[in-house]
Structure 1
C-alpha cells in the first residue's frame, strides 16, 4: 500500500487528537499520533521503538542505519488544548486557505513529522553510513515528561539533533529556562482588633515579595545577554491567594511565580538563594513558609556558536543563529550528548492560537533543508 501524500499525512496527524494538559479532564493520550508515525516509518524500513512514559503517553524512536553518530530529527506529538468556538475552521481538520494549511498542530508541531518523511523518502535508496533517528515525544506542552524520560534513561542518540519547533527556518541555539514555583505561608488567624492574637500570612508574604523583587533586581544587574529580546532574567508574580475576611488576621497565603533564567545561570543556585531569603522571614513573622516547584524546571539552553551543527545550519539557512524566549526540549537532548539546535517552519506567534497555520511557501524550503541535513550527517 503506497504511503499517503505529504498533505494526506498532514491531515491525518491533525485529525488524531493528542492534547496534553495539566488538567486531567482535557488531557489525552498521544498514542494515535505515535501509531500513525510508526506505521508510515515502518513501511519505509525504519526500526520503530515505542516507549511508554506514563499510562497513555508514549515516545517513538524510529531508526534507519546504525553507528555511533548520525542525526536526530525531533519533535513533540502533543498539542495544547483548544477553544473550538474561537476557531473559524475545524481545528482537527486540515483546511487549505489563502496559501496556508490550517489546523491544530500544523505549526506547533505535528506537521514537522510529515515534512521529515517527505525529505527522507528519495534518500532511502542510498546507504546510510550513519543513522537517522526520528524522535516523537509526549507531553512537551505540559510536563516535558517524554524528553525527561529519555534524558534520565541516558541512552545516547546521535551526534546532532534538530528540533523542528516553529522558528521561521531560522536556527536557534539559545533559550531561557523556565521555573514555575509556589510559596505557601501558614500563619495564625485571629480577631483583627488585636494584632497580637495571630500571625499574618499576608504581611509575611508582603515581606517575601519584597525579598524576591530584591533578588530579581540583583540577578538583572548581574546577568544580561543582548542576543535575547528581553536581555535579562525575568520573574513574574502570576497569582496570589490569601485570607477570607477583612476582620480576620490572614492565616494562609499562597504565591505562584515564574522565573526565566538565562543560559549560564544555575537553577539549583537560584532556588537556594530564594530559600536563604525565606528562612529568616519565617522566624521574624512567626509563620511556616513552604517553598517548592509547581513543575520540574526546564533548564536554560545554549549550544556553542562554533559547533559543527550551528555553522552548518547557518550556512544552509543563510541566517545567523539566534536566541528565543520560549522553552523547548533542547536541554534534554543536549544532556544525551547531541549538538542541538531548534529549527523548523512556522511562526511561534500563531502557535497556541485559534487558526494555527503553516504557510505553504515554507513546505518546499523545509523539505530541502532537512534533506541537506540528512545528507550531511547520514550519507557522507
Structure 2
C-alpha cells in the first residue's frame, strides 16, 4: 500500500486527540487510535509491530516498529523515538483549529505539530526514498505514551526493552540542533494541616497559611543553598533551580485556615541524585515539622525524572554532530532521554522550536521539511547501512 502524502499523514496524526491530563480523567485521552494508525502505515512498509499497553495508565500504549534484514533484530542500528501525547490547549487563545493542520504564512499549525506528534510524519516521509531491504542493521521506531505527565511509556519501555541500538534519537523540537544533556525534574506537594476556627480568636486554632509562610522561608533558604553548592557550566542556567508554582489555602476571611497546599519543582543537574533531593527537602523542613508535629506532609506530585547526559566523547554523539554539522548543546527542560539513555546513547534532535511547545497556535515552520528529511535519512544510512 502506498503511503499517504506527508501533509495527509501530518493532518491525520494531529486530528486524533491524544491530550494527557493527570488531574481530570475526562480530559485524558487514550493514544490507541494514533498508535494503531502508525502501526498500519509502518506495517505496510514491512516493519514488525509490537503494541504494548502501559500499566497504571488510562488506556495508553507504546508502539515499537522494527525493520531488520537480520535474524537478530535487537543488536545495533538506530532507534527513532517520539511521544504520542500532547498537553491540553487554551481554547480561547488559539486562532487556528488545534485538531487540524492549518497551513498559513509558511507554517503548519496544530496541537502536536512541534511537540511532537508531527515527528512521526517526518519519519515516514524520510522512509519514502530509502530501500529498506538494503539495511544491514535494524531500524526501530518507538512511539511512547504519557510523556507530558508521568513519562510512564518511556519508563516501562526502558525497564522491559531487549534492544541494544547503537544510537537513539528523540525527535523533540530542538531546531535540528543536537541536545546531549538536560536537567532533571522533581515536583513536590507540601500540605499543611492546621486547625480551623473563628478568626476572632486566633489562639484557638493553627493557621495553615501562617505555617506555610514558615515553610516557604525555609524553601527559599534551600533554593539559595542549591544555587551556591551545585554548578555545571554546560547549562545556560548553571545551577539547580526551584520554583514555587501553586499555592492554595483558606476558604473565608473570617475563618482560621485549616489547610494549605504548595506545589513546587526543582530542576536538578544531571550529576545530582534525584532521590536525595527528597531527603534534603525533609531535612530542611524538619525544624518546622518538629514545631508542628504531624501537620506537614511532603510527597511527590509525580515520580521524579532524573537528569540526563550523553558525554562529549561518546562515539554516537560525535557521529551525530558530524552528520548535522552542529555541536551538541544542553537545555533546561526535560525529555524521555534519561530512560532511553539506559538502553543506548541518546541524543535529542528534531524539527521545530521548543519555543512553540505548550503554546497557543503551536506550529512548525515549513522550511524544516527538507532538512529534517535529509537528516533522518543520513542517520538511517549511518547507523543502519
Q: TM-score, normalised by structure 2?
A: 0.93
Q: CA deviation at 1:358?
A: 1.3
Q: Distance in 1 between matches of 2:248 and 2:94?
A: 33
1:125 is displaced (CA, Å) by 4.3
After TM superposition, the runs of 4+ consecutive aligned structure 1 residues lying more than 6 A away are none
Change (3 A) 1:112 1:209: same
| SS of residue matched to 2:174 | coil
The match for 1:329 is 336
Alignment of 1:319 onto 2:320: no
Corresponding residue to 1:283 among 285, 290, 310? 290
Q: How many aligned residue pairs are there?
A: 378
Q: Which residue of 2 aligns with 1:352?
A: 358
Q: 2:66 aligns with which of 63, 72, 79?
A: 63
**Partner of residue 232, structure 1:** 239
Q: Does structure 2 retain, via aligned residues, the 8 Å contact 1:187–1:286?
A: no
Q: Residue 25 of structure 2: SS of its match in structure 1?
A: coil
Return the offset for 1:127.
3.0
CA distance in 2 between counterparts of 1:258 and 1:213 reads: 12
- Aligned residue for 1:361, secondary structure, equals helix
- Cα distance, 1:139–1:286 mapped onto 2, change above 3 Å: closer
Match for residue 342 of structure 1?
Answer: 348
Contact 2:180-2:309 at 8 Å conserved across structures: yes
User: How far did 1:271 drift?
Assistant: 0.7
Return the offset for 1:248: 4.5
Quick one: distance in 2 between partners of 1:147 and 1:273?
27
Shift of 1:153: 2.3
Counterpart contact for 2:74–2:163, Cα < 8 Å = no
Q: Distance in 2 between matches of 1:205 and 1:89?
A: 42
Q: Do the aligned partners of 2:74 and 2:162 also contact (CA within 8 Å) in 1?
A: no
Measured after TM superposition, the shift of residue 86 of structure 1 is 2.8
- Counterpart for residue 368 of structure 1: 374
> Aligned ranges for residues 217-296 of structure 1 at < 5 Å?
217-246=224-253, 248-296=255-303
Q: Please give the secondary structure, in 2, of the residue aligned with 1:123.
A: coil
Equivalent residue, structure 1, for 2:7: 7
1:50-86, Cα deviation, whole Å (9 max, x unpaired)? 1111342111000011241111000011122223443
Instruction: State the alpha-carbon separation in 2 of the partners of residues 149 and 126 from structure 1.
Output: 30
Partner of 2:16: 16
1:204–1:287: 8 Å Cα contact kept in structure 2? no
8 Å contact from structure 1 (residues 72, 157) kept in 2: no
3-state DSSP of counterpart to 1:78: coil
In 1, distance between residues paired with 2:58 and 2:244? Answer: 33
Aligned to 1:135: 142
Matches within 5 A, 1:33-72: 33-53=34-54, 54-65=57-68, 66-72=73-79
CA distance in 2, matches of 1:289, 1:242: 14
Contact 2:28 2:58 in 1 (8 A): no
**Cα distance in structure 2, aligned partners of 1:157 and 1:259:** 32
Post-superposition shift, 1:5? 1.6
Q: 1:81 aligns with which of 69, 77, 88?
A: 88
User: Cα distance, 1:363 vs. partner?
Assistant: 0.7
Of 171, 177, 185, the residue aligned with 1:170 is 177
Deviation larger for 75-84 or 29-38 = 75-84
Distance 2:36 2:196 in 1: 55
Q: Which runs of 5+ in 1 are unaligned?
A: none
**Contact persistence 1:151–1:332 (CA under 8 A):** yes
Question: 1:25-40 alignment to 2 at 5 Å?
Answer: 25-40=26-41
Determine the C-alpha separation between the residues in 2 that align with 1:106 and 1:359.
10
- Contact 2:74-2:138 at 8 Å conserved across structures: yes
Secondary structure at the aligned position of 1:178 is classed as strand
Q: TM-score, normalised by structure 1?
A: 0.94
Name the CA distance, whole Å, in 2 between partners of 1:108 and 1:251: 40
Which has the higher mean CA deviation after the structures are superposed, 135-144 or 198-207?
Answer: 198-207
CA RMSD for the aligned pairs? 1.9
Partners of 2:90 and 2:226 lie apart in 1 by 38
Q: CA deviation at 1:157?
A: 4.5
- 2:98 aligned residue (91, 96, 101): 91
CA offsets per residue over residues 172-205 of structure 1, 9 Å max, x none?
0111111111111223334556555333333322
Write out per-residue CA displacement over residues 72-117 of structure 1, whole angstroms, 9 at most, x where no aligned residue: 0000111222234433332222222222222221111111111112
Alpha-carbon contact 2:222-2:284 (below 8 Å) kept: no
